[in-house]
Amino acid sequence: MGGYSIFIYLFILKIFLGASVGSFVNLIFERKQAGTSIIFPYSHCNQCNLKLSVIKKIPIMGYIISKGKCNQCNFKIPLEYLLSELYLGILVLRINPYEFKSCIILIAAILLLYMSLSDLKTMHIPTLLIYSLVPISMVLTNKNYLNLIIIGILYILICLIHRFYKNNFIGNGDIDILFIFFIMHNLSEFINIIFISSLSALIYIEIRQKRKVAFIPFMTLGFLINYVI
């Protein structure tokens, strides 16, 4: 019974830690967009500036307890807050802190979360973060030098076609992330990620009736599902 209790404790602790990081990434993005400090002011409602209580700051649980809205002004808390916390909370369950590859994957997941938020809110992906993913993909890849050279040539050709083709259905940053994923994963994993990303994006477009959507969040979802399952 004691061993089972420890397992449950560690399970909850890992979700809490991962969700806390997800919440912090969201905070960093919002404060950077607003041009304010990530330390001050304290967490508050973006509509009425009501300071959040300690219990409302608990990742995942805080959103559920508040029913996704501010108790004072009924401002609807963006769903991406909860999704960001769930994303890293779930992913961290598969992370082995003593394994170098797992730690690198966690770093990649954090960068992808920030890029997803940026793409979702501004339709722009910070170039520096894309560059940061390149060495990470090189660390995680199992491809030889010849394959990497071929991928590099293919990337240049796709970028040239994309530049001169007017009716683009995918952004420059999306292409960058796709090729980074191609380097990072084997072919079957890459196909799984693209399938999950495309299917979830199509479902979202059908439900919301939108012609253009941010695609990085859906690729991040594919990345999560591929790694967790």
Q: And the tokens for 84?
A: 């960001």
pLDDT category, 36, cuts 50, 70, 90?
confident
Which pairs from 126-130 meet CB under 8 Å and 24+ separation? Answer: 130/173, 130/176, 130/177, 130/180
> At residue 86, does pLDDT exceed 90?
yes
Rounded Cα–Cα distance for residues 81 and 70 (Å): 13
CA distance 12 to 191: 32
pLDDT of residue 17: 95
SS3 168: coil
Q: Are residues 125 and 21 in the same domain?
A: no
Q: What is the pLDDT of residues 138-192, one digit of tens each?
A: 999 999 999 999 999 999 999 888 888 766 667 789 999 999 999 999 999 999 9
Asked whether residue 189 falls in the same domain as residue 129, the answer is: yes
Instruction: Write down the pLDDT at residue 42.
Output: 79
Q: How many domains does the chain have?
A: 2
Which amino acid makes up residue 64?
A: I
**Are residues 52 and 162 part of one domain?**
no
> Is residue 212 located within the same domain as residue 193?
yes
**Does one domain contain both 17 and 72?**
yes
- Report the pLDDT value the prediction gives residue 167, as an integer from 0 to 100: 65
Average pLDDT of the chain, as a whole number: 90
According to the model, what pLDDT value does residue 162 have?
A: 82
pTM: 0.93
Which of 23, 58, 93 terminates a domain? The answer is 93
Among candidate residues 194, 22, 190, the one with its CA nearest the CA of residue 91: 22
Give yes or no for residue 1 having a pLDDT over 60: no
**Structural domain harbouring 125:** 99-229
Last residue of a domain, one of 93, 114, 136: 93
